[in-house]
Structure 1
């Protein structure tokens, strides 16, 4: 008979964002949605430097929690572990001081695109680090891809607006 400690319960709750990771269908999308809802309160009010520190803390805490939850659940990278979506989704927004609603939606869609399709090196990154940190790192790379797309979209939009007033 195994005994679940308070640390085990907390780790599992962090890794799965409580019950959110157990919602039916597309747990990663639910995790990204939670990240979007929480971002205006926990991420976006801060400078890009502070945002990066917050994301680094989520990465470390999430990696530790995901490692423990993975062992508790007896599966390698189970779908219910979605703390990695928070870190990756927030990274999309980390470098932009001001975010509009359409940019948040675009960033959400860009991150989900790269997280689901896992182009190189997103998929390969899972093997770069052990355990829970391997779970986290691929979403960080997908978040960087999403941030690059958001940067490009913002640049193109600004170019379009500037052309209108020439």
Structure 2
């Protein structure tokens, strides 16, 4: 959570720091309101390219993006002096990409995945809420969004199963 004394970097500062640029989702995390939602929106065009990868390659990207995210989010938090600054949205990128792993093609599914991921990321049902409150550092920042992505993916895959099996 951010505190009242946290200074949000400018876009110019992001451009000077590759860590902050990626952690802030190429600037999408600078949104004044709902930076997590804007970060998730910014993840969609990148997902569009990912969906054409083989499942193994897509999973490889997820693993690398998660590991990179643990570093980026931890380093950005340290640089900003606050755990999980609201503008750090790399975790939303990876959580959305996880939601969309093996999802059916099409923009309706992309939108559905977006809505599901945002619901789970905001509502934080257990153990997401526990992870958000108890785990710190880059892993703590990343893990609650990974869990939200897993929940959202399960609902999305269940829906796809029902739609395509009826």
Output the TM-score relative to the length of structure 2.
0.85
Q: 2:154 aligns with which of 131, 141, 148?
A: 148
Q: Which entry has the higher C-alpha Rg, 1 or 2? A: 1
| Counterpart in the other structure of 2:18 | 10
Q: Secondary structure at the match of 2:140?
A: helix
Q: Distance in 2 between matches of 1:65 and 1:56?
A: 14
Corresponding residue pairs, total: 152
Q: Distance in 2 between matches of 1:114 and 1:130?
A: 19
Q: Secondary structure at the match of 2:17?
A: helix
Structure 1 residues 128 and 46, CA, compared in 2 at 3 Å: closer, same or farther?
farther
| Counterpart in the other structure of 2:7 | none
The reply on whether 1:119 has 2:125 as its aligned counterpart is yes
Q: 1:56 aligns with which of 63, 82, 88?
A: 63
Report the CA distance between 1:90 and its aligned residue.
0.3
Q: 1:33 aligns with which of 41, 44, 59?
A: 41
The reply on whether 1:24 has 2:40 as its aligned counterpart is no
Question: Mean alpha-carbon deviation: is it higher for 151-160 or for 56-65?
Answer: 151-160
| Counterpart in the other structure of 1:95 | 102
| Counterpart in the other structure of 2:9 | none
Report the CA distance between 1:101 and its aligned residue.
1.5
RMSD, aligned α-carbons = 1.7
Structure 2: which 5+ residue stretches go unaligned? 1-13
Output the TM-score relative to the length of structure 1.
0.85
Report the CA distance between 1:127 and its aligned residue.
5.5
Deviations 1:95-126 (A, max 9, x none): 33x41221111111100000000000111123
Structure 1: which 5+ residue stretches go unaligned? 1-5, 161-166
Deviations 1:128-154 (A, max 9, x none): 654011100110000000100101111
Q: 2:87 aligns with which of 66, 80, 87?
A: 80
| Counterpart in the other structure of 1:131 | 137
Report the CA distance between 1:14 and its aligned residue.
1.1
